[in-house]
Amino acid sequence: MYRKVDTNLNFVDREKEVEKFWKDNKIFEKSMDSRKEGETYTFYDGPPTANGKPHIGHVLTRVIKDMIPRYRTMKGYMVPRKAGWDTHGLPVELEVEKKLGLDGKEQIEEYGMEPFIQQCKESVWKYKGMWEDFSSTVGFWADMEHPYVTYDNNFIESEWWALKEIWEKGLLYKGFKIVPYCPRCGTPLSAQEVSQGYKTVKERSAIVRFKVVGEDAYFLAWTTTPWTLPSNVALCVNPDEIYCKVKAADGYTYYMAEALLDKVLGKLAKDDEPAYEILEKYKGTDLERKEYEPLFACTGEAAAKQRKKAHFVTCDNYVTMSDGTGIVHIAPAFGEDDSRVGREYDLPFVQFVDGQGNMTKETPYAGVFVKKADPMVLTDLDKEGKLFDAPKFEHDYPHCWRCDTPLIYYARESWFIKMTAVKDDLIRNNNTINWIPESIGKGRFGDWLENVRTGVFPETVTGEHH
């Protein structure tokens, strides 16, 4: 049967009429009351944040999240739909900081944690009314009068309960993760924050001589962060590139990448004397495990204390031939690649920089800020004949968007859940889910599960329990 639609029909008015009819007659409530005997189909709304306005993208998610419960209701299920509100997170805190004219952790503590939290709790409801109107307008049914709220204690306690279960299964452990870190603010920055603060700076880099054990020869390695050298525990070469042992015009014998010989040693050439003479050629892998003497005594001591082997050549594909000498210095506490190489070769973990970005007492530069330590390190290495060159180097370096301090890549102690231990279960479970569209669950999410790995150093379970 067809019904002719009036060409002047006002859809908005008609929607309002239906909306009012639903409200006046408590249709949502009735949809549950009339199915009390039916099987329950549970729906918890993935909670939106009410301190931001709803936008057009939310229409799509609200409609989809209404469709499934509505279909189940029509099939005779009892479907209570629990609305929820997401109330935690940095965006809330930053907005309140702005409102109160505060800047950073210390000022918040001065203002007082409790009143600050209270302000946050008020701020998160800023657009609640708008969200409710919007949800109702798009015909989204949910129990908005009894929502779950992520800052309610019973919700927080359920998180603690889950964490305790994980702890009791021995899956919670402490490790280190390399993060971009502002030593002045004392906080790591998100990738988005880091991208806001790049500046072009000219700094001195260092090409350093690392003495090969048992040979009158040196590895030449390049770094843009001389302050990380006192924490050096290894060198790294590209396994597939060609490396040379050369007799250079400065009288030294060096190991470095063939591709960069002229760039690095070229300037040693004199009128009729070549800059270097190649003695032997190797593949990167031939140099693996070759040992050298620690650059700083403090690192040798730290390695011995940890009973770990250090100060040898490692291999990894991340080493490129675009800059430097083709040999990279490794300090696992101060770089993601370094950290990964450190895990693979079971290197000691040496972090001679404290949370304020100052060199620690183990080094000859106790209490000196890392960037200020750079020239001191260069001077000392030069005095000991370990500095080949200190070329000026121009690069884009991230600075803190709040306070302009240069960021450092820094290993921070954090708690982690040992996901690798439950990976097989996760994949098995994911395969039982009816994903629509399939590409999301099998593709994007499935790929992510396949790649579950630990990104931390070292993977050891700590604590009494286990």
At position 281, the amino acid (one-letter code) is: K
Give the number of residues written for the chain.
466
Q: Which of 120, 178, 182, 373 binds Zn ion (CB under 5 A)?
A: 182
Q: Select the span of 204-212, 285-293, 396-404, 442-450 touching Zn ion (CB under 5 A).
A: 396-404
If binding is defined by CB under 5 A, does position 185 make contact with Zn ion?
yes
Q: Which residue stretch of 64-72, 171-179, 372-380, 404-412 sits at the interface with Zn ion (rule: CB under 5 A)? A: 404-412
Number of residues near Zn ion (by CB under 5 A):
7
Asked if 407 is part of the footprint of Zn ion (rule: CB under 5 A), the reply reads no
Q: How far is CA 362 from CA 278, 359, 387, 459, in A?
A: 39, 8, 21, 25
CB of 230 to Zn ion, least distance (A): 24
Residue 401 Cβ, how far from Zn ion at the closest point, in Å?
A: 8
In terms of CB distance, is 182 or 377 closer to Zn ion?
182
Query: Which residue's CB is nearer to Zn ion, number 42 or number 196?
Result: 196
Q: What is the DSSP letter of 369?
A: B
Taking the least distance from each CB to Zn ion, the nearer of 397 and 445 is 397
Rounded to whole angstroms, how far apart are CA atoms 260 and 302? 33
The label of the residue with tokens 């290894």 reads 234
If the CB atoms of residues 194 and 295 are measured against Zn ion, the closer one turns out to be 194
Q: β-strand 327-330 against 234-237: which pairing, if any?
A: antiparallel
The residue among 94 and 433 lying less far from Zn ion, judged by its C-beta, is 94
Separation CA 91–CA 78 (nearest Å): 37
Q: Which is nearer to Zn ion, 185 or 249 (CB)?
A: 185
Q: How far is the CB of 188 from Zn ion (least distance, A)?
A: 11
Pick one of 58, 309, 343, 402: the residue that binds Zn ion (CB under 5 A): 402
Residue 109, number of CB atoms within 10 A of its CB: 11
Minimum distance between the CB of residue 352 and Zn ion, rounded to whole angstroms?
Answer: 22
- DSSP letters, 179-221, are EEEETTTTEE--HHHHHTTEEEEEEE-EEEEEEBTTSS-EEEE
Distance of closest approach, residue 399 Cβ to Zn ion, in angstroms: 8
Shorter beta-carbon distance to Zn ion: residue 175 or 197: 197
Q: Which residues of 386-417 are buried (b: 16+ CB within 10 A; e: fewer)?
A: bbbebeebeeeebbbbbeebbbbbbbeeeebe
What residues pair up with 280 in beta bridges, in sequence order? 245
> Where does this chain touch Zn ion (CB under 5 A) — which range of 176-184, 223-231, 274-282, 283-291?
176-184
Please state the closest distance from residue 94 (CB atom) to Zn ion, in A.
Answer: 14
Phi, psi angle pair for 405, to nearest 5°: -75, 140
C-beta of 340 vs 402, nearer to Zn ion: 402
Output b/e per residue, 256-293; b: 16+ Cβ within 10 A. Answer: bbbbbbeebbeebeeeeeebbeeeeebebeebeebbbe
Is 399 a binder of Zn ion (CB under 5 A)?
Answer: no
b/e for 69-104, b at 16 or more Cβ within 10 A?
bbebbeeebbbebebbbbbeeeebbebbbeeeebee
Q: Which residue of the chain is nearest Zn ion when measured via CB?
A: 400
**What x/- string results for residues 5 through 44 when contact with Zn ion is judged by CB under 5 A?**
----------------------------------------
Locate 46 and state its tokens: 């993935």
Site membership for Zn ion, residue 184 (CB under 5 A)? yes
Closest CA to 298 of 351, 347, 220, 338: 351
**Positions in 50-109 near Zn ion (CB under 5 A):** none
Q: Name which of 189 and 233 has its Cβ closer to Zn ion.
A: 189
In the bound complex, what is the minimum distance in angstroms from residue 106's beta carbon to Zn ion? 11
Report the relative pairing of strands 81-85 and 143-149 from DSSP bridges: parallel
Which span sits near Zn ion by CB under 5 A: 256-264, 317-325, 384-392, 394-402?
Answer: 394-402
Q: Shortest gap between Cβ of 301 and Zn ion (angstroms)?
A: 32
Give 381: exposed, middle or buried? Use CB within 10 Å, 0-12, 13-18, 19+: buried
Contacting range for Zn ion; rule: CB under 5 A; set: 129-137, 345-353, 398-406, 409-417: 398-406
Separation of alpha carbons 290 and 303, rounded Å: 17
Q: Which stretch binds Zn ion (CB under 5 A): 9-17, 43-51, 361-369, 403-411?
A: 403-411
**Piece in contact with Zn ion (CB under 5 A), picked from 24-32, 33-41, 399-407, 444-452:** 399-407
Specify the 3-state DSSP secondary structure of 169.
coil
Among 310, 400, 411, 456, binds Zn ion (CB under 5 A): 400
- Residue with smaller CB distance to Zn ion, 227 or 255: 227
Shortest distance, CB of residue 405 to Zn ion, whole angstroms?
5
Q: What is d(CA 58, CA 360) in angstroms, rounded to the nearest whole number?
A: 50
Question: Which is closer to Zn ion, CB of 15 or CB of 109?
Answer: 109
403 binds Zn ion (CB under 5 A): yes
Query: Which CB atom, from 84 or from 398, has the smaller least distance to Zn ion?
Result: 398
Residues binding Zn ion (CB under 5 A):
182, 184-185, 400, 402-403, 405
